Amino acid sequence: MEKGIQDQLRRCWLEIIGTLLDCGKSTEARACARQAVELGLWRDPMQRPTHYIPTLTARPVHDPRQFWFTGYLEQHYAAIAAEVRAYFGRGGRDFRPYDARLIDLGKWEQLVLYENGQMVARACELFPVTSGVISAISEATNLGMTSISVVYPGTHIIPHCGPTNARLRVHLGIQVPEGAHLEVGGEKLHWREGECIVFDDSFEHQVWHRGESPRIVLILDVWHPELDPEDIRTLSRSVSTEETIRAFMQEHGLRRIECAPGGNRVVFHPDDQTTKAILRHIWEYDVSEVELRAGRLYLKNANDRIKERT
């Protein structure tokens, strides 16, 4: 089966599995994952990335001592933690909510320092010590995302899988209260301040925080250690920022994206085909506004009367 067809099939199965998990039907989701493995789309029902390299060794959790940069990060923990705590002591208003689709309960925010091999200058200026430490780790600065992640008490991040098994994810614990833990591939992990954990986020994982203060970690994406230099060069070209934006816009039928004044809202302009489809659906329901909130559809007519549809 051609790779392009396999990737398309994986996306379809992921949508079905994700929908079942969102509806609380975990047994049915597990059954679908096993069927996808039988079709040859993945080898493990708990590891379900869209971009999948079957030759790579798959394990949910890796020994951090196998990577030189984990010791380097831990050596600089005190300086990183002091900078992060000082920032939050001043109010910490630059963090943004991260992927609301993954939040079942609570609040999850991040500040991105590097993305797809490019430094986010404005964020790095806020954290010069931390970004300086990260800049020496080429394994992290030429791939994926490096960020400071804050999960607040009472939060549950639902089970999900990362997009590719070509990378591993590194967490350095900065502020770790009691009651927060991570589950990867069914294995329960606990962060510790000043220590790194390394895991494969293409395995199903989730976060629970039942503590009383924010959990803060530094997150780095690094290449899977079994990739050779040519594989990395090829994959680096495929995950460029421009390509990511282009693919997102094409997939969602968007012509233009812009930030509204103030930078707190995003305005999407659909392409002609998407606009026609939206207008047709709105016309069919005789409404002027449609909103999706917590899985429920709210329709507003010309007289501002709102009716709810499940």
Residue 8: its H or E element: helix 3-22
Whether the predicted model's global pTM rises above the 0.85 cut: no
Query: Could you tell me if 102 and 108 are in contact, meaning their C-beta atoms sit under 8 angstroms apart?
Result: yes
The domain ranges of the chain are: 3-38, 61-237, 253-309
Q: What percent of the chain has pLDDT over 90?
A: 52
Output DSSP code: residue 199.
E
Q: Give strand pairing partners of 193.
A: 173
Higher pLDDT, 283 or 131: 131
Query: Could you tell me if 204 and 34 are in contact, meaning their C-beta atoms sit under 8 angstroms apart?
Result: no
| Residue 48 to residue 15: CA distance in whole angstroms | 11
| Closest C-alpha among 35, 27, 33 to residue 46 | 33
∠206-164-244 over CA atoms, to 5°? 105
Query: How is 72-134 classified by DSSP, letter by letter?
Result: HHHHTHHHHHHHHHHHHHTT----EE--GGGEEES-EEEEEEEETTEE-HHHHHH-HHHHHHH
Average pLDDT over residues 6-16: 88
CATH number attached to the domain at 61-237: 2.60.120.330
3-state secondary structure of 164: strand
Q: Which of 182-191, 213-222, 262-271 has the lowest mean pLDDT?
A: 262-271
Q: Is the pLDDT of residue 240 over 60?
A: no
- Tell me: the pLDDT tens digits for 162-203? 988 999 999 999 999 999 999 999 999 999 999 999 999 999
∠278-247-21 over CA atoms, to 5°? 75
Higher pLDDT, 5 or 245: 5
Can you give the pLDDT at residue 280?
67
Average pLDDT over residues 114-136: 91
Q: What percent of the chain has pLDDT over 70?
A: 88
10: tokens are: 């994986």
Can you give the pLDDT at residue 294?
65
CB within 8 Å of 43: residues ≥ 6 apart: 37, 54, 58
Band the pLDDT of 241: cuts 50, 70, 90: low
Query: Could you tell me if 232 and 201 are in contact, meaning their C-beta atoms sit under 8 angstroms apart?
Result: no
Say how many C-beta atoms besides its own lie within 10 A of residue 180's C-beta. Answer: 22
- Tell me: the pLDDT tens digits for 47-105? 999 889 999 999 999 999 999 999 999 999 999 999 999 999 888 788 988 877 788 89
